[in-house]
């Protein structure tokens, strides 16, 4: 009788240890799955941020190249870049399947995309023969150099920030 009781006790202890490990494994598996989902969400948000960076650079570069070819004025070219950037960013945000919040901020307040051209400067230098030229766009951040363009990208519970900070510069050299 004591032998049966001892065997039953050992079997119950081993079974409870196995059940404990089984539940721990299931819990660990769900934690790993949640972590993987978070990693995938972060990766997607980062990819969208990268797409925004590339699109902004492309729009600015192409507009500068067109300005060099057309002998445009610096002020007009700066306004064209601001208009194209605003249009592209708003279109990107509206067509995206993720939540993208666009605004201009000084770190304390959020503003809409009004007067974007006042936050940047564009210069064009061409030689007198028209064979070569240099164009440069600089996001200055305004008079106090404290404003930046921000896009908050939210994918699930993950978020990524895209920013154009003061000092952001793109230059183009054209040689015919």
By CB atoms closer than 10 A (0-12, 13-18, 19+), residue 100 is buried
Taking the whole predicted model, whether its pTM rises above 0.75 is answered as yes
Give me the residue label for tokens 């993720």: 98
- Helix ranges (H only) for the chain are 2-70, 74-95
Check whether 1 has a pLDDT greater than 60. no
How far out from the chain centre does Cα 147 lie? 17
Question: 66-98, pLDDT tens digit by residue?
Answer: 888 787 789 999 999 999 999 999 998 888 888
Question: 100-136, pLDDT tens digit by residue?
Answer: 999 999 889 888 877 888 999 999 988 777 677 899 9
Q: What is the DSSP letter of 166?
A: T
- Adjacent-strand bridge partners of 8: none
How far out from the chain centre does Cα 118 lie? 23
* Encoded tokens for 131: 């064979």
Listed by start position, the domains of the chain span 1-30, 38-175
């Amino acid at each position: 009788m004591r032998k049966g009781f001892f065997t039953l006790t050992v079997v119950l202890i081993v079974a409870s240890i196995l059940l404990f490990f089984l539940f721990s494994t299931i819990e660990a598996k769900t934690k790993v799955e949640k972590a993987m989902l978070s990693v995938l969400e972060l990766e997607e948000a980062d990819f969208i941020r990268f797409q925004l960076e590339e699109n902004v650079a492309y729009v600015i570069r192409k507009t500068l190249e067109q300005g060099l070819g057309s002998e445009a004025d610096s002020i007009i070219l700066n306004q064209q870049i601001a208009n194209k950037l605003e249009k592209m960013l708003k279109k990107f945000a509206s067509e995206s399947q993720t939540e993208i919040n666009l605004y201009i901020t000084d770190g304390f307040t959020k503003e809409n995309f009004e007067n974007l051209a006042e936050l940047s400067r564009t210069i064009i230098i061409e030689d007198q023969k028209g064979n070569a030229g240099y164009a440069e766009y600089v996001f200055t951040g305004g008079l106090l150099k404290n404003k930046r363009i921000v896009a908050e990208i939210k994918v699930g519970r993950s978020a990524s920030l895209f920013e154009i900070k003061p000092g952001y510069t793109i230059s183009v050299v054209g040689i015919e």
